[in-house]
Chain A
Amino acid sequence: MNHLVDLLLIAVGAAFINNFVLHYFVGICPFIGVSRRVDQAFGMGLAVTFVVTIASFLAWFFTWFVTRPGAPVTAWVWGLFAPGSRTVLDLSILNYLIYIFVIASSVQFVEMYLKRFFPALFKAFGVYLPLITTNCAILFACLEIMKHVSGVRDPAAAWGLDQALALAVFGGLGFALAITMMAGIREELDLCDIPEPLKGAGITLLTAGIMAMAFMGFTGVDRGLAAFLR
Chain B
Amino acid sequence: MVDSGPTALERFINGILPENPTYRQLLGMCPTLAVTNGLKPALTMAGATAFVLICANFITSLIRNALKPHLRILVFTLTIATFVTIADRFLQAFMPAMSKVLGPYVPLIIVNCIIIARCEVCASKQPVGTALADALGCSLGFALGLASIASVREILGTGCLLGARVLPEAWPNWGIMVLPPGAFLTLGLLLGLVEWAGAARKKAGGNQG
Cβ-based interface call for A115 (8 A):
no
Number of A-B residue pairs, CB cutoff 8 Å, is 114
A82→B139 CA distance, assembly (Å):
46
Number of B residues, CB within 8 Å of A = 39
Which residues B163-193 have CB closer than 8 A to chain A? Answer: 176, 179-185, 187-189, 191-193
What's the minimum C-beta distance from A146 to chain B, rounded to whole angstroms?
Answer: 9
A143→B73 CA distance, assembly (Å):
21
What's the minimum C-beta distance from B201 to chain A, rounded to whole angstroms?
Answer: 12
Cβ-based interface call for A195 (8 A):
yes
What's the minimum C-beta distance from B81 to chain A, rounded to whole angstroms?
Answer: 5
Contact for A29 among B81, B113, B179, B182, CB less than 8 A: B113
What's the minimum C-beta distance from B153 to chain A, rounded to whole angstroms?
Answer: 12
> B180 contacts A139, CB within 8 Å?
no
Chain B CB within 10 Å — which of A202, A204, A216 has the most? A202
What's the minimum C-beta distance from A113 to chain B, rounded to whole angstroms?
Answer: 19
Residues of A near B74 (CB, < 8 A) are: 101, 104
Chain B residue at minimum C-beta to C-beta distance from A219: B179
Interface size class of A (residues with CB under 8 A): 35 or more
A23→B180 CA distance, assembly (Å):
6
> B184 contacts A100, CB within 8 Å?
no
Residues of B near A26 (CB, < 8 A) are: 30, 34, 108
> A212 contacts B181, CB within 8 Å?
yes
Consensus secondary structure, chain B interface: helix
Which residues A126-150 have CB closer than 8 A to chain B? Answer: 133-136, 139-140, 143-144, 147
Residues of B near A140 (CB, < 8 A) are: 104, 108
Residues of B near A32 (CB, < 8 A) are: 26, 29
Residues of B near A100 (CB, < 8 A) are: 77-78, 81, 110-111
> A201 contacts B26, CB within 8 Å?
yes
Cβ-based interface call for B84 (8 A):
yes
Instruction: Report which A residues bind B (CB closer than 8 A).
Output: 22-29, 32, 93, 96-97, 100-101, 104, 133-136, 139-140, 143-144, 147, 195-198, 201-206, 208-210, 212-213, 216
Q: What are 10 of the A-B contact pairs (CB < 8 Å)? A: A26-B34, A135-B111, A143-B107, A196-B196, A197-B191, A197-B196, A205-B184, A209-B183, A212-B184, A216-B179
